[in-house]
Amino acid sequence: MTNPLRIAPLKIGLAGLGTVGTGVIQLIEENRDLIARRAGRPIEISAVTARDRTKDRGVDLSAYRWVDDMGELATAGDVDVVVELVGGSDGPALTLARETLGNNRALVTANKAMIAHHGAELGALADSKNAPLKFEAAVAGGIPVIQGLRDGAAANRIERVYGILNGTCNFILSAMERDGRDFADVLADAQSKGYAEADPSFDIDGVDAAHKLSILASLSFGSKIDFAGVEVRGIRKILAADIAQAQALGYRIRLIGFAEIDGNNGNAQIFQRVHPCLVPLSHPLANVTGATNAVVAEGNYSGRLLFQGAGAGDRPTASAVVADLVDIARKETGPAFSVPTNELESLPRASAAHRIGQTYLRMLVADRAGVLAEIAAAMRDAGLSIESLIQREITDGSALISMVTHEGHEAAIDATLKTLSGSSCLLGEPMVMHILGE
């Protein structure tokens, strides 16, 4: 048997030395022999680059050639694979990706925003150059969900993929649930502990989850990435009262990225949404707490598949990056999106108006006679009925009403709120959250 340590190594050019980049270095150094045996050849870092050469990153970089211009990695003679960990949907990261693939070099990236915005272009370039493009670390950190969908579920028609795709939001919602605190208080605490960024907008407004969802939908359905088609709403407006009311009604609130195919073959449409949802306590996602991610895919032969684990962090994300490197060393690559990029379907977007399900409505209303009757009349006229309702006085003159509807069209929710929009009974903007089916 050939000793993998005697085979020419796979040489890596590493761009970006943040927590994930240094995690990749530490992992390759610590598990060097194990990785070589599993990859069939050594994997070695030959060149590195970052914005600040003088910064202390807690790892010894003296063994690696420093490159001031990251573009040099795309043509360097001692680089077989470029690992892009710079971040950002455009700018230097995109330039490096284009140059790397254009020079017939393999590219590994953890850059979800770049793939969500430019995945079709980069996939087509990779196909034309027969250059591997790998991005396991771009979705759900250390969870091998991309490989699971692309390889493990390859024989299945995936009709629906959804899950908890942002650890920051799940950490905040779990803390609100556990401690009974409001959103702003928990967010400030999460920022002080490093669980949330100083500017957390991408996370708490659902953009990060939407990037990941658009990638998962493309892999699952064989469709072109359509990030712009994702309907996005974050968790800023969720109150501690919503958490408590949801629990009283038998649910937990989670930010859910959800995508599915509506219709069949010739008339198929794609629906994509990132919204806070009420999840039944019996559903696996209701028990996913903290910064954990979880993805559910439903295949026509496999049934429900659940992928769960650490969705972010230096070590899990570094693990996913190196897993891609191992695949490249083994020459186990294939098309980036399961099928050749030019075979990805361009699917029209499905409207939410005709979707049928149950909905949670929370309204702050004037605490006076006739308010419930007015709300009920608006719902009746729209064709909605109430399954359960909780009313709680907030202060003198106001009350919080939380209700779950029976199944109905989402258009009926819109019609109800339009009817009530000019009513003096409403004291604030209503909160709408859809209920995730079991």
Find the catalytic residue in 112, 134, 212, 224: 212
What residues have CB less than 8 Å from 101, skipping those under 6 apart? Answer: 107, 122, 125, 126, 129, 131, 133
Cβ-Cβ contacts under 8 Å for 2 (sequence gap 6 or more): none
Using a 10 angstrom Cβ sphere, with 0-12 exposed, 13-18 middle and 19 or more buried, the burial of residue 2 is exposed
Q: Which residues of the chain have pLDDT under 50?
A: 1
Beta-bridge mates of residue 17? none
Whether the CB-CB separation of 135 and 274 falls below 8 Å is answered with no
In the beta sheet, which residues pair with residue 82? 13, 107
Contact 85, 108 (CB under 8 A): no
Amino acid at 357: G
Q: Are strands 292-299 and 269-280 parallel, antiparallel or unpaired?
A: unpaired
Provide the whole-model pTM: 0.93
Burial 204-236 (b: 16+ CB within 10 A, else e): bbbbbbbbbbbbbbbbbbbbbbbbebbebbbbe
Find tokens 């649930």 and name the residue: 177
Residue 24 CA to residue 43 CA, distance in Å, equals 11
Please, what are the domains in the chain?
4-138 (3.40.50.720), 145-311 (3.30.360.10), 356-435 (3.30.70.260)
Backbone phi, psi, residue 291, to 5°? -85, 15
Long-range (24+ apart) CB contacts under 8 A made by 376-384 are 378/416, 378/419, 378/420, 379/405, 379/412, 379/416, 381/415, 381/416, 381/419, 382/408, 382/412, 382/413, 382/415, 382/416, 382/419, 383/408, 383/409, 383/412, 384/408, 384/412, 384/413, 384/416
Sign of the C-alpha dihedral computed for residues 402, 407, 412 and 413 taken in this order: positive
Token pair in block for residue 84 = 């892009």
* Cα distance between the two ends of the chain: 51
Residue 220 and residue 149 in contact, taking contact as beta carbons nearer than 8 Å: yes
Which residue blocks in 68-166 are alpha helix, DSSP H? 91-102, 112-129, 145-147
Question: Quick check: helix, strand or coil at residue 165?
Answer: coil
Length of the chain: 438
> What secondary structure letter does DSSP report for 248?
H
pLDDT for the residue 310: 84
Is 212 a residue of the active site?
A: yes
Angle at the Cα of 303 (from 301 to 306), degrees rounded to 5? 135
